Chain A
Amino acid sequence: MRWFMPFRRRKSASVARDRLQILLTHERGADGQSDLIPILREEVLAAVAKHVSVDVDKVQVKIERGKAVSLLEIDIELPCDPESAKRRQRAPQATRPQRLAVSQAH
């Protein structure tokens, strides 16, 4: 009785497609089919670490591939300033995360 519900929720096939696209981008990276994500992760981390001390576990790199535009998202949690980073190593305390987001068109 679909015609009685014109504002039905999103079609399941399009949900399936989006979930697969995101999942497979990650799995391909893990499989060694594409080394882009681990390489980016390492190099971005090295560049940031020159200036700020970064916790390796607080870096996330994601790529979402769309038809026209892909989104490269690099999420790095930074301590507020280098001084507080040093303090944090001695005694952990709350730091406010800062986000870097980069988007790339192709």
Chain B
Amino acid sequence: MAQVVVVTSGKGGVGKTTTTAALGAALAQEGQRVAVVDFDVGLRNLDLVLGAERRVVYDLIYVSQGNVKLSQALIRDKRLENLYLLAASQTRDKDALTDEGVEKVMGELRSTFDWVICDSPAGIERGATLAMRHADVAVVVTNPEVSSVRDSDRIVGLLDAKTDKAARGERMEKHLLLTRYDPVRAGRGDMLNVDDVIDILSLPLLGIIPESEEVLRASNLGSPVTISTPKSAPARAYSDAAQRLMGMDVPMAFPSDRSGLFSKLFGRKAA
């Protein structure tokens, strides 16, 4: 029986899709059977970030409407045999996704995998609530920036109100994943630091992903960062976060200001 995780944020562009791909790959690298599901109907991108954009034939809507079997729509990753993608539709209207249809697909995924990771669309509309509805665990992706923190707070409210778990009177498990964190700017007091964000949102911290050029490079290549450069700082941060999701006790690595004296003197950005 799978754990269903929703990767959500409210705000767009904070790294939901990157995180879904990286966490999914990291869990698969741990030997878990993982399905990543794109709920962003009309603006799908998880296929692109995973490098599977040319292999999408059927998508979530086909399966939810019963037109094809789940096994026909699942795309197996070429690098990790335990990782599967269920893409969103690029052409259909988002209203083609019904509550019953999604429930049926999620039920099937749950019985097939160890982890089902749902990539939520931005916003607080139906697409986002559909993506979170069946989740057991939420990963709230937040940038250390005012608009992202505010939107995350809004999403936390929705997670406590609009999920099946909340409707059953259970407590939704929520984790904060701080992305695009720049320890140099936070250290200077020009960016909200880790404690500020934890304090404001009152969520337990799942991980801190440092701002890194490796993340963009990975999506350029269509490869999750945990596969493309597994030793890089963001890849290690994602792998640690994945292990924490699995219940392992992994000490939190706080990204530090590793810039040398030269870059400090001349104000260069840390790598």
Partners in one complex: yes
A16 and B150: CB pair below 8 A?
Answer: no
B-side contacts of A11, CB under 8 Å: 188-190
**Bound complex: CA A59 to CA B157 (Å):** 26
B189 and A24: CB pair below 8 A?
Answer: no
B157 and A13: CB pair below 8 A?
Answer: no
Interface string of B146-166 (1 = CB under 8 A from A): 100110011011001100000
Interface string of A11-51 (1 = CB under 8 A from B): 11110110111011001100111000000000000000000
Q: Which residue of chain A has its CB nearest to the CB of B195?
A: A17
- Give the total number of A-B pairs whose CB atoms are below 8 A apart: 43
A24 and B146: CB pair below 8 A?
Answer: no
B-side contacts of A27, CB under 8 Å: 150, 153-154
B186 and A13: CB pair below 8 A?
Answer: yes
**Bound complex: CA A14 to CA B200 (Å):** 12
Q: Does B196 contact A (CB under 8 A)?
A: yes
Given contacts A11-B189, A11-B190, A32-B161, contact A16 B153 (CB under 8 A): no
B157 and A17: CB pair below 8 A?
Answer: no
Q: Which residue of chain A has its CB nearest to the CB of B161?
A: A32
A70 smallest CB distance to B (angstroms)? 13
Q: Does B26 contact A (CB under 8 A)?
A: no
B-side contacts of A31, CB under 8 Å: 154, 157
**Bound complex: CA A16 to CA B192 (Å):** 7
A13 and B153: CB pair below 8 A?
Answer: no
Given contacts A19-B146, A20-B149, A33-B160, contact A12 B189 (CB under 8 A): yes
Given contacts A13-B186, A20-B200, contact A33 B157 (CB under 8 A): yes
Given contacts A13-B186, A19-B146, contact A24 B191 (CB under 8 A): no
A12 and B190: CB pair below 8 A?
Answer: yes
Q: Does B18 contact A (CB under 8 A)?
A: no
B-side contacts of A17, CB under 8 Å: 192, 196, 199-200
A-side contacts of B161, CB under 8 Å: 32
**Bound complex: CA A12 to CA B185 (Å):** 11
A-side contacts of B193, CB under 8 Å: 13
A-side contacts of B154, CB under 8 Å: 27, 31
**Bound complex: CA A16 to CA B153 (Å):** 15
**Bound complex: CA A106 to CA B85 (Å):** 49
**Bound complex: CA A31 to CA B159 (Å):** 12
B200 and A21: CB pair below 8 A?
Answer: yes
**Bound complex: CA A54 to CA B63 (Å):** 60
B242 smallest CB distance to A (angstroms)? 29
B-side contacts of A16, CB under 8 Å: 145-146, 192, 196
B189 and A13: CB pair below 8 A?
Answer: yes
Q: Please tell me which one of the listed residues A14, A19, A28 contacts residue B157 in the complex, with CB atoms under 8 A apart.
A: A28
A19 smallest CB distance to B (angstroms)? 7
A54 smallest CB distance to B (angstroms)? 31
B81 smallest CB distance to A (angstroms)? 43
Q: Which residue of chain A has its CB nearest to the CB of B185?
A: A13
**Bound complex: CA A24 to CA B192 (Å):** 15
Q: Please tell me which one of the listed residues A13, A14, A24, A33 contacts residue B150 in the complex, with CB atoms under 8 A apart.
A: A24
| Residues of A participating in the B interface, judged by any CB pair closer than 8 Å | 11-14, 16-17, 19-21, 23-24, 27-28, 31-33
| Residues of B participating in the A interface, judged by any CB pair closer than 8 Å | 145-146, 149-150, 153-154, 156-157, 160-161, 186, 188-193, 196, 199-200
Which 4 residue pairs across A and B have the least CB separation, nearest first?
Answer: A11-B189, A31-B157, A17-B196, A13-B189
Beyond the given A11-B189, A13-B193, please list 17 additional residue pairs across the A-B interface where CB-CB is below 8 A: A11-B190, A12-B190, A13-B186, A13-B190, A13-B191, A13-B196, A16-B146, A16-B192, A16-B196, A20-B150, A20-B200, A21-B200, A24-B153, A24-B200, A28-B157, A32-B161, A33-B157
